[in-house]
Amino acid sequence: MNQLDALKQHTTVVADTGDFLQIAQYQPRDATTNPSLILKSVLKPAYAPLLDAVLVQHRGRPLDEVVDRLLVRFGTEILRVVPGRVSTEVDARLSFDAAATIARARRLIALYEAEGVPRERVLIKIAATWEGIRAAEALEREGIHTNLTLLFAFCQAVACADAGVRLISPFVGRIYDWHKARAGAQWDEAAMAGPNDPGVQSVTRIWHHYKRFGIPTEVMGASFRNVGQIRALAGCDLLTISPELLAQLATTEGDVPRRLDPAEAARAELPAVHYRAGEEAAFRFALNEDAMATEKLAEGIRLFCADARRLDALIASRH
């Protein structure tokens, strides 16, 4: 058995890509996209006809609407390949505006439903800022399910659970990047691999917390740098994996033992929770106390915004 099939015995595998022509061979259940992945895909010659079709069909419409229609077109094509759900991201420039995030999420869902896609097959991705979490809380009450992304801190995960979001995407690789850069020459790659990887540890703590307290929010590890991080989280609810790492798993023979076990949640050591649901000041203070999470959340939003602007510019130049 290859390691991808072995992983699927414990965890739902999700493809982290906008390249729907690449997905089918790995047979994931779901797929996730973000502004960077859509930009990467739309620049490929294979997707030029799709881009042209969207631009011709919606010529003269406002730029932000055309972008959303392009995102939905990619998502609709992905759903022809995967049996489950697709995650489509709200413009990261709205990360600190709850009302605008809600409005954009409603439009995305309306566009999907106009294409015959039921809302149960779509997760709206939103940055796990305070405003993003509040927007997700309101959307979930409307039956619009959300995927809270750019999640680095335990307090973000607790706040998402309090808000009743459907799924969170704690980032493994970017946490690993931060700690590795901070350690510099003192970083010991072998010693910090597997269960000692700080990104793996972060997801494990969140998963144990959710299981201990019966929280239904799904945990989907994301942003992997190597297959070792993926194997170390076997048993997590879902893992979203790039095509490159899916290929490595699919071409490597061997077992992938389960690492996250619900039975361990009862005895796992968990961080303290220093605020109650809905306490904005306490949330912001807890996030501020985590230098890694504060820096990576801000950086992640900036990077997604930059790629959103590049996508805007590409469409505007041809619209």
Would you name the residues annotated as active-site residues?
Answer: 125
Which tokens in the block code for residue 143?
């039956």
